[in-house]
A and B are shown apart, each in its own frame.
Chain A
Amino acid sequence: MLTKINVGPIHPSTHGVLRLVVTLDGDTIVDVEPHIGFLHRGVEKLAENRMYMQSESYMEKIDYVAPMAYSDLYVAAVEEAMGIHPNERAKYVRLILLEFQRIASHLLWLGTFCNDLGLMFTMFTWTLKDRDLILNLLQDVTGSRMFYVNMRLGGVSIDLPPNFEEHANKLLDYLEKRFKEYEIFLEKNPVFIERTKGVGVLKKEDAIALGVTGPVLRASGVNFDVRRDYAYYVYEKLHFIPQIQTKGDSFARYKVRMQEMKESIKLIRSALKLMPEGDALGMPIKLISPPVKEKEVIVRRELPRGEGMIFMVTDKQRPYRLSLRTPAFINLSALKYIAKGASYADLFSILGSLDLVMADVDK
């Protein structure tokens, strides 16, 4: 006998407003149907009526967990349309700030994942404390903790303060120690291992056919990362290695993100050593934008949740049409195929390991 359960828009575990209509047969899931659109704000249409650098603030609010990554995606598209290239030091500064943003986003994901499994906030408060220390560092650089608005054409708005390197190195040493403690806390806990190993397996061919991206794809064994295959800024010089796991279950997705955080720490350390002297400031905001040279632009970046793409058709002072492909939208559509045949309590383990932010899905 099939029953339908409504996991409603307001729920402690759905990371925003997501409505799932789950069809159950006893305790086994037969079908999952997501209803989205509760957080749609029309960002693509808003950007059509504003000048180029005015809509940077709207792009940041697409993802409130890692705002600088989306702001960088948009500003890079505008720079390519205008033919402006950031200089060497600006590339290093942007890379360092983006990798810090990636660590902060994965820390928040770790806290909410353990919350979904039933831990009741212990891991959540510990990881939020570490994320808070990173946000303090970013606040000293940009002036704000959450919506930075610091990307300008050709660089950043405020350069790194003089004592940034020693503060960053101290913070990175502390974070390395904490990651070892988190691994002991979770991987030596037999109940956590039972809840995540073998749950929600996604095979390699299915992952490529469904179009998922990011850590979900790399946990199924596919060796693809935008930072290596379509390299931007200075990732080639820093010898970046993507992290792969082969099993494809929730535990593999957790492990990929932990390894990515450690890889980010290595990248920041080597970038701090190799950074040249100079000036990383970009163009300040004026009432009239520089002239546009290209007609259509496509830019790809590796956001913390996956691969993001932007396609822009340009006009003289404002974009004529903007189209965004955000990773969480595609990862959510794969939920139906992963969750078929699992038990009801596994649904939250799978949903947590896909790392969704609803503002990313609904734009």
Chain B
Amino acid sequence: MLISSVEELIFEVIAIFILIVFFDYTFGWLERKTIAKAQLRHGPTYLGKFGVLQNLADILKLLTKENVMPKNADKLVFSTVPLLLLALFIFLVYLLPFPNSLGIDISIGLLAIFVLLSFSPLLIFLTGAASGNKFSLISAQRSVIMSLAYEVPLILSVAAVALYTGSFNIANIVYSQARIPFIVLMPIGFFVFFIAMLAELERPPFDLREADSELIAGWLVDVGAPYYAMALFVDYTRMFLGSLLISLLFLGGWLGPYLPGLIWLLIKVFVVAFVIVIIRATTVRMRLDRLMRFGWFWLLPLAVLNIIFTFIFFVK
């Protein structure tokens, strides 16, 4: 996992990029089909066998349309900040270790990821506020408040994992789950991390920003068509990041019998993504002040309790 020459660097960059694109495309198809099956319909069936080429057709259609910008928008910010957001999330995937000598191995990997992840509310607020539209401003404010409340339990539950392992290196965390994965050792921590991750990814029940039936898709109301395609890409890359973090930190990463490591990792990532999609099909949206109350009064004490338990029982 150490970079020794320029060819290896280029090979790793391209390999992980292909992995991201593969996951985004497959997850897009999986989400549409699963939600359709849960709603007793078919989903895309026309293009390709089982509708596999449908997302490709949608993205090609969106990229060929004209880019319209509203008059009140701040042109510089509005056209560059979404690209920065995409670059941020792709960069964060590169900081994670992958098996079979792909990926970068850093000794402070965990800290680096969560420090950079907290840039995302700032960029999201900038895209919403630069639209010059009342609805986008309201949804940008809501998403910043929500991220503020849910980042603290997120980091606290990860701190319990780091406390148990004794290092910030994600590869070490995965190897120390060789006997028991952390979901069994600290179930409260897993619960807190899962729900706080749903709030960071802005998936239902926490999808205030794109509240389809209240503000008609919030900040995406008047972006141009190419930016809409990029917003989808950002959404799915964020899902990939979230599911990877859950499976690396709590489910045992790439360890498992019989199959090569990369296949196990992908299986775990897809199982987590499937559970997130089923939750989307089942719940209604939460109201903002209830959400705040849930974050501060329920998740935060549970996360602190988790750290205390871990310290007492497992750290000598």
Contacts and interface: CB of A to CB of B under 8 A. Distances in A.
B306 to A, nearest CB: 21
Given A11-B216, A125-B40, A195 B286 contact: yes
Interface in A89-137: 114-122, 124-126, 129
Contact of B39 (A125, A192, A344): A125
A129 B41 CA distance: 10
A114 B290 CA distance: 18
A343 interface: yes
Interface in B187-228: 204-205, 207, 211-214, 216
Interface string B280-316: 1111111111100000000000000000000000000
A195 B284 contact: yes
A125 B204 CA distance: 19
A126 B40 contact: yes
B75 interface: no
Nearest to B205: A191
B38 interface: yes
Contacts of B39: 121-122, 124-126
B134 interface: yes
B195 to A, nearest CB: 12
B284 A12 contact: no
Interface of B (DSSP majority class): loop
A344 B135 CA distance: 13
Contacts of A264: none
Nearest to A120: B212
A348 B214 contact: yes
Contacts of A343: 287-289
B287 A345 contact: yes
Contacts of B284: 114, 117-119, 189, 191-192, 195
Nearest to B39: A125
Contact of B283 (A3, A119, A121, A126): A119
Contact of B214 (A3, A13, A122, A124): A13
Nearest to B36: A125
Interface in B150-164: none
A27 interface: yes
Contacts of B40: 125-126, 129
A269 to B, nearest CB: 27
B38 to A, nearest CB: 6
B204 A118 contact: yes
Interface in B1-59: 35, 38-41
A118 B285 contact: yes
B289 A118 contact: no
A246 B42 CA distance: 42
Contact of A13 (B207, B213, B280, B283): B213
A124 B212 CA distance: 15
Contact of B286 (A119, A120, A124, A194): A194
B288 A118 contact: no
A273 to B, nearest CB: 33
Contacts of A344: 214
B286 A191 contact: yes
B214 A345 contact: yes
A187 to B, nearest CB: 13
Contacts of B205: 118, 191
A192 B284 CA distance: 6
A346 interface: yes
A274 interface: no
Contacts of B282: 122, 189
Contacts of B286: 191, 194-195
A239 B288 CA distance: 46
Contacts of A122: 35, 38-39, 281-282
Contacts of A120: 204, 212, 280-281
A5 B214 contact: no
Interface string B146-189: 00000000000000000000000000000000000000000000
Interface in A347-362: 348
Nearest to B288: A345
A27 B214 CA distance: 14
Nearest to A4: B134
Given A27-B288, A126-B40, A343-B287, A116 B281 contact: no
A98 B131 CA distance: 51
A12 B38 contact: no
Contacts of B216: 11-12
A335 B35 CA distance: 34
A12 B280 CA distance: 19
A119 B283 CA distance: 6
A12 B212 CA distance: 8
Given A189-B283, A189-B284, A12 B213 contact: yes
A5 B134 CA distance: 9
A153 to B, nearest CB: 42
Interface string A181-201: 000000001011011000000
Nearest to B135: A5
Interface of B: 35, 38-41, 134, 204-205, 207, 211-214, 216, 280-290
Given A118-B205, A120-B281, 6 more contacts: A115-B213, A118-B214, A189-B282, A191-B286, A192-B283, A192-B284
6 nearest A-B pairs in the assembled complex, by CB-CB distance = A118-B285, A117-B284, A125-B39, A118-B284, A13-B213, A345-B287
Interface of A: 3, 5, 11-13, 27, 114-122, 124-126, 129, 189, 191-192, 194-195, 343-346, 348
15 contacts: A13-B213, A13-B214, A27-B288, A114-B284, A115-B213, A117-B213, A118-B285, A121-B39, A189-B282, A191-B286, A192-B284, A194-B287, A195-B287, A343-B288, A345-B288
